[in-house]
Structure 1
């Protein structure tokens, strides 16, 4: 690429050497990113509920406690009175007695029917006596079956009640930390009442970052992209992860009546020391593209592109001569731009327009 060289007229001997504001082309890494605000939220958590109706006898943990899976959390006194169990036992005893009585009647009815069957074979009994014996045996058998079914039903009910009475201890389904607690001693609870969890357990070893990305940027994001963030609570520290999901519906209240739409983008970060907490604000960066060991020029060394997308820059050489060049760039961000052609490492580029110094006639002639 040809460069037009403009020779500057030498300043008077008494004048101080001219000073130029320049930036230097260097090699380095560059990233093109999408920036967005975000919030930290829990990644893995569960709410625990009472599995039996009753009164909270004791709360065995507090907010902030670290607990293990299957650890006891809340002790509940069941609302079911002991009298119900006694009533079930009494009812079972009565049914067992009724069953024994009906089996005796069944044995007698079957014996009578057998005798009538033998007599009928010898034409020694009336038809109505035979039919009566047959009906009595059938009825006795049906009553035995009915009582047996009642006994089975009561056994099933008693088993359910007994299992419920054994669920007086609420246990943690996962290992984690108690992050909220609503259970209080003396509180009445209902079994699996959806609106009133007793407490929430969260695994804080991993957190989710929910970034709020504008619609003109979200189309550049893809699952698996590198993501990172900083948070005001830890100045100078950065956490990293990989983009997991873009929620495909806009945030409530955005994208309506001409408003710009925003979308929630999620990724996870490890949190082994539990430094990060739910609700912390985050300044998120998603890496859309990057280049290693590229030629880089500070962004303030570029002006506006021409119609071909090239940039006009002025390069100052060691002899204080200015040459105009056309530069093609690749990746760029607010700090720097990747140089694809037109410059080399070490070139010094003037910041702003070239100095308004007219060339001498000789210099003008030589440049022509």
Structure 2
């Protein structure tokens, strides 16, 4: 290999640095040295429906459910249903061993018959005492017997009356005991208290049930034709949720199907979890096909506002106000964020000024008084609406600031009450709007291809 003596050592490093600098300058001048046209992300103005909602998560449960238990102790001899069975009110579900209850009823019946026999005897004694008393009274009135004999007959009659009353009371008490024991015997048969579905069974045949302290649960019935969604609402949103308010929800297994409903009740007592205050909101929904199951997870949406067949744009199309200089009405030059809220008449003046400046810079003309008057009328017709600015793409490919009246908005879309028509194209993403005729630089320190009056460069929003 041929070696050049003048390219050795320090001279070789200097020459390499010069070559690298020249290559870097050439690449910069070729790729970045010339101005590029702005890259603007755009979207078309559409027409559709818009809903503003408050979302929360909840659980689905039956509105009416009953835990069927045993009122008597004993062995479960028969269980006549299984989970999933449909039952009607009054249908026999299970039987408990009734041997002890039957013997108690038989003993009470025998004791009642004994008391009724004693009543017959006492009734005969009472009749005899009444006859003796009446005879003694007649003889005493004719001075045929002594007063002592008359009083003795009177006392015997009174005692006989008391004994009969006591036996009658015993018979009543025994009859009550017999009714209670017959009811206990009837409790050995478990009947369905409501129409519904057997959702769970907690006992098995042969199991001994002890109802001395608490009623043991045998099975659970639920009416699955009407389900209730129980959802947690934060204290920040609960004041915007009222009974009768429209709502809808989706399930975890089928997120495409909406289940419409209304708010039945907001429970007054909150639940505090990790210092977070949550209120329970209840929604009822019919479930004729039994598609909804207990303990399903539901994503609930409470409807707070809706617009049908409205003019819609992406929220990212709402631009900030022009920066720099004083605004009409004495405002300073700081612009609001995309879709920021403007205040009353001042927002209208700012929007009109933006329109005039945009028209002068992009189209070379002044503001349209008729359009400003229409905007003022729309603002008066919608006092709760917000003012904003969008950039509308013109036929020559340049964006023009356009004031608009914004109604409802979600995280992705906004309703335009006035200022845009479906089919127009708007710029999405935050774009600097310069003052026409000024020489100030664009946002990011770059000028447009046509100077200060040219179209502003767009900044893509990721």
Q: TM-score, normalised by structure 1?
A: 0.85
Pairing 1:165-314 to 2, within 5 Å after superposition: 165-189=185-209, 194-253=214-273, 256=275, 260-303=276-319, 304=337, 305=340, 307-308=342-343, 310-314=387-391
8 Å Cα contact 1:225/1:243 also seen in 2: yes
Q: Which residue of 2 aligns with 1:138?
A: 158
Question: Would the alpha carbon gap of residues 179 and 359 (structure 1) be closer, same or farther in structure 2, given more than 3 Å must change?
Answer: same
Whole-Å separation in 2 of the counterparts to 1:81 and 1:360: 103
Whole-Å separation in 2 of the counterparts to 1:162 and 1:196: 21
What is the SS of the residue equivalent to 2:123? helix
Question: Would the alpha carbon gap of residues 192 and 103 (structure 1) be closer, same or farther in structure 2, given more than 3 Å must change?
Answer: same
Is 1:148 matched with 2:168?
yes
Query: Which of 64, 69, 85 does residue 84 from structure 2 map onto?
Result: 64
Q: Which residue of 2 aligns with 1:105?
A: 125
8 Å Cα contact 1:49/1:192 also seen in 2: no
What is the SS of the residue equivalent to 1:357? coil
Whole-Å separation in 2 of the counterparts to 1:56 and 1:67: 19
Whole-Å separation in 2 of the counterparts to 1:315 and 1:267: 44
Q: Which residue of 1 aligns with 2:412?
A: 335
What is the SS of the residue equivalent to 1:276? coil
Work out which of the two has the higher radius of gyration on C-alpha atoms and give 1 or 2.
2
Whole-Å separation in 2 of the counterparts to 1:263 and 1:81: 48
Whole-Å separation in 1 of the counterparts to 2:100 and 2:417: 80
- RMSD over aligned Cα, in angstroms? 2.7
8 Å Cα contact 1:74/1:171 also seen in 2: yes
Structure of greater relative contact order (alpha carbons < 8 Å, 6+ residues apart): 1
Q: Which residue of 1 aligns with 2:459?
A: none
8 Å Cα contact 1:241/1:267 also seen in 2: yes
Q: Which moved more, 1:236-245 or 1:353-362?
A: 353-362
Alpha-carbon distance, 1:75 to partner: 0.7
Is 1:359 matched with 2:450?
yes
Is 1:163 matched with 2:179?
no
Task: Compare the two structures and name the one with the higher strand fraction.
Answer: 1
Q: Which moved more, 1:80-89 or 1:277-286?
A: 80-89
8 Å Cα contact 1:52/1:78 also seen in 2: no
Q: TM-score, normalised by structure 2?
A: 0.69
Runs of 5+ consecutive residues of structure 2 not aligned to the other structure = 1-34, 320-336, 344-385, 433-441, 456-462
Runs of 5+ consecutive residues of structure 1 not aligned to the other structure = 1-14
What do residues 163-195 of structure 1 show as CA deviations (whole Å, max 9, x unaligned)? 332332211122211112222223333569655
Alpha-carbon distance, 1:206 to partner: 2.1
